[in-house]
A and B are shown apart, each in its own frame.
Chain A
Amino acid sequence: MNVLATSSLTRRFGAKVAVDAVSIAVEAGESFALLGSNGAGKTTLIKMLTTLLPPTSGSASVAGFDVVRQSAKVRRAIGYVPQAISADGTLTGAENLRLFARLYDVPRRAQAATVQAALTFMGLQEVGDRLVNMYSGGMVRRLEIAQAMLHRPQVLFLDEPTTGLDPIARTTVWEHVSRLRSEAGMTVFFTTHLMEEADRWCTRLAIMNAGRVVITGTPIDLKQSLGIAAASLNDVFTRYAGTTIQNGERYGDILQSRAVARRLG
């Protein structure tokens, strides 16, 4: 069953077409990666799927609800970790979680237990009462994922969840996400520009270039489709996007990802 589907989903900003007639379908339980360089339209697409941005044309449904007409129902069914660092540094980890437990209508009596369970699940039980300013980058990301899963969403959206993290923190974050997927049966939809990350942590991926989805498939199928021995996802990307992943980066995007990296320390 499709838990997420788009049909000719398009978003224009003035003359620029940021997302161009994208049609994709994701099944429940998948870990779906959207792979592309910065500026390829990944974030715009995820903003439309999470009801933050209305599409210019086309349609999308998430958890069975239309993202435009039933946006309130979509919001109840999803969790979202934005690309920027969205945990509040001037609150403690537990306070960040408590706020979102209330915003997500976790019943009052269950709130304390829910917050505690989320901290424990993400390996943050020791630091729950510390200000988030004191957290390492990986801890912040894990806290943000905890914030986004308090209400047991059907689909978890992660926009470049590991940008700016060192390899060890990156792996820890992904291990927690896959545990979440296997234990809670959540569907994970994430964007990345790291080939090896997509290769290792997704069940299926779509490659995006200049607003369009150029190909969709499992990492293995895509690699085999090239017909060369030991093809990597990098080869796949170059073949289908017609460019290497770094070439599409814009100056502003580079500044933004550096800023994120700096904040994550």
Chain B
Amino acid sequence: MTSSNPERSPGGSGNSPAIWAFASKTLAIAGAEGRKLGHDPTELLTRAVQPALWMLVFGEVFTRTHAIPTGDIPYRDFMAPGILAQSVLFIAIFYGIAVIWERDLGIVHKMLVSPTPRTALVLGKALSAGLRALSQAVIIYVLALVLGVGMNWSPLALAGVLCVVLLGAAFFSTFSLIIACIVRTRERFMGVGQLLTMPLFFASNAIYPLSVMPRWLRVVAHFNPLSYQVDALRRLMLAPTGSGAAGPGAVAEFGLPTDFAVLVLALVGVLIVGARLYPRIVR
């Protein structure tokens, strides 16, 4: 691995402009993943259990105790976006396992030998994780409806939630791909994955606001992309409470432009690193 990596992403040099080829190939990869889910959706059903437990057990208990200050919205409303972000994280962070599995199967080899820009391969996989994550959004919305959480049903807000879920899943799955490219074996990956998940979750504003954290944790949470994902979801998912400036804005902390900027930049960053490391996993 001493020789430098000379392969710059080669855009499609065919008749169609490179950007179209790039988009088409990215979508082809994500589309194939969508078809897999269509053939066997069991995975989506089993994945529904965990968020349901958090919402129905943890959420209900903490809503009763009023232990966590969440302004004038009930705790269950406060945590619903946090649990969605958590489910997205849990789906995405173990995506590296699939990468290692596909490497062992030779699928990665064949993808890399095709004239597909490396970034398109990585982004296609990232969007696939996003597809799975969207199913979690559906589950959270159903649970929220059952529990009577005040949701914002405006189409614009829903479109925003869709974007944030895709962005968050794409970021964490690509982060996971990078780890997979570094550790290379399933066993080591499982260890690292376990090691990362809980700290990422607890060092975020998913189930308690930044304001109750000790100072050091608050600092850590500011460097955690999950916090920005949760923040954006909280603003977009919850219904305005009507009492003027209060409402979801009162418990959200960074503001949507910051949230989106951080998530997009973080994604671009991991995509660049991921596209460089991905070809190394077959060496």
Contact = CB atoms under 8 A, between A and B. Distances in A.
A132 to B, nearest CB: 11
Contact of B40 (A78, A83, A90): A90
A52 B32 contact: no
A78 B39 contact: no
B104 A84 contact: yes
Main secondary structure of the interface of B (DSSP, over half): helix
Contact of A102 (B28, B36, B113, B282): B28
A27 interface: no
Contacts of B104: 84
Given A90-B40, A102-B28, A76 B115 contact: yes
A83 B115 contact: no
A105 B115 contact: yes
Interface stretch (B2-10, B128-136, B172-180): B2-10
B159 interface: no
Contact of B113 (A69, A80, A88): A80
A255 B137 CA distance: 42
B115 A72 contact: yes
Interface in A53-81: 53-56, 68-69, 71-73, 75-76, 78, 80-81
A195 interface: no
B13 A72 contact: yes
A99 interface: yes
A80 B3 contact: no
Nearest to B28: A102
B107 A52 contact: no
A88 B32 contact: yes
A260 to B, nearest CB: 9
Given A102-B24, A103-B116, A68 B6 contact: yes
Contacts of A102: 24-25, 28
B39 A90 contact: yes
Q: Contact size class for A?
A: 35 or more
B85 interface: no
A144 B6 CA distance: 28
B25 A54 contact: no
A52 B115 contact: no
Given A91-B36, A103-B115, A82 B6 contact: no
Interface in B1-45: 2-3, 5-7, 10, 12-16, 21, 24-25, 28-29, 31-32, 35-36, 39-40
Nearest to A106: B14
A57 B15 CA distance: 35
A104 interface: yes
Given A52-B109, A99-B29, A104 B114 contact: yes
Interface string A98-132: 11101111010000000000000000000000010
Most buried by A among B6, B109, B111: B109
29 contacts: A52-B109, A52-B112, A52-B113, A52-B279, A52-B282, A54-B5, A56-B3, A68-B6, A69-B6, A71-B7, A72-B7, A72-B10, A72-B13, A73-B13, A75-B10, A82-B106, A82-B110, A84-B105, A86-B109, A86-B110, A88-B32, A90-B36, A91-B36, A100-B110, A100-B114, A103-B29, A105-B21, A131-B39, A148-B110
Interface of B: 2-3, 5-7, 10, 12-16, 21, 24-25, 28-29, 31-32, 35-36, 39-40, 104-107, 109-116, 279, 282-283
Interface of A: 47, 50-56, 68-69, 71-73, 75-76, 78, 80-86, 88, 90-92, 95, 98-100, 102-105, 107, 131, 144, 147-148
